Amino acid sequence: MRGMVEGRKKSRTFRRVKVKTPGGNTKVQYKRRKPSKAKCAGCGAVLAGVARALPRKMQNMPKTKKRPTRAYAGVLCTKCTRKKITQKARQYISSS
Partner 1 sequence: MIEIGRLCIKTAGRDAGKKCVIVEILDERFVLIDGETRRKKCNQLHLEPLKDKIDIKKGASHADVTAEFKKLGLTARETKPKAKKIRPRRLRRSKLATQATAKPEEKKTKKAVKKKAKKAVKKEEKPKEEKK
CA 82/CA 11 separation, integer angstroms: 42
Residues 8-67 that bind partner 1 (CB under 8 A): none
The count of chain residues that interact with partner 1, using the rule CB under 8 A, is: 15
Exactly one of 51, 74, 80, 81 binds partner 1 (CB under 8 A); which one? 81
Closer by beta carbon to partner 1, 29 or else 91: 91
Exactly one of 16, 52, 65, 82 binds partner 1 (CB under 8 A); which one? 82
- Residue 37 C-beta: closest distance to partner 1, Å: 22
Binding site for partner 1 (CB under 8 A): 68-71, 78, 81-82, 85-86, 88-90, 92-93, 96
